[in-house]
Amino acid sequence: MEQKEKLEKEKNKSLLQVVEFKKEDPFADPEHASDNAAVDTDVREQVGHDTIEAEIKDMERRIGEIEVALRKISKNQYGICERCKKTIPQARLKLIPEAAYDIDCEKKLRK
């Protein structure tokens, strides 16, 4: 199935991005705790760390959504809106393969 391959590829890509983000985290440097950096450097490192943590959290959320979509494929439930149970349009699934809702339900949930 084309969507399964696409989802697996996206999952692997997201997992690699998490690894890369963790490498870029200024707090990952073992010298960070003992470098006695200037206050402005500490602030930049904290902002950099917070940004990377947010990116990782977002990637992990997406990985979870992809895993749910992959389980749905194995149960022949992929492409069905979790809210209204209607079929999610193929155009939406091509754009967002891990979509759990059709556009109308997504809009209602975001309000």
Do 102 and 68 lie in a common domain? no
Give the total residue count for the chain.
111
Instruction: Tell me how many domains the chain contains.
Output: 2
**pLDDT of 33 over the 70 cut:** no
DSSP state for residue 76 in the 8-state scheme: T
Do 108 and 68 lie in a common domain? no
Do 103 and 62 lie in a common domain? no
Do 12 and 60 lie in a common domain? yes
Do 26 and 56 lie in a common domain? yes
Give me the pLDDT at residue 20, please: 94
DSSP H stretches of helix in 1-111: 2-24, 39-74, 90-95, 103-110
Give me the pLDDT at residue 65, please: 96
74 alpha-carbon distance from chain centroid = 21
Do 71 and 105 lie in a common domain? no
Top-confidence residue, 86 or 30: 86
Do 83 and 60 lie in a common domain? no
Do 19 and 68 lie in a common domain? yes
State the pTM of this model: 0.80
Do 41 and 22 lie in a common domain? yes
Do 14 and 64 lie in a common domain? yes
Joined tokens for residue 91: 């155009």
Do 101 and 47 lie in a common domain? no
Assess contact for 11 and 67: CB atoms under 8 A.
Answer: yes
Average pLDDT, rounded, for the chain: 88
Give me the pLDDT at residue 32, please: 54
Domain that holds residue 86: 79-111
pLDDT band at 25 (very low <50, low <70, confident <90, very high): confident
Do 20 and 69 lie in a common domain? yes
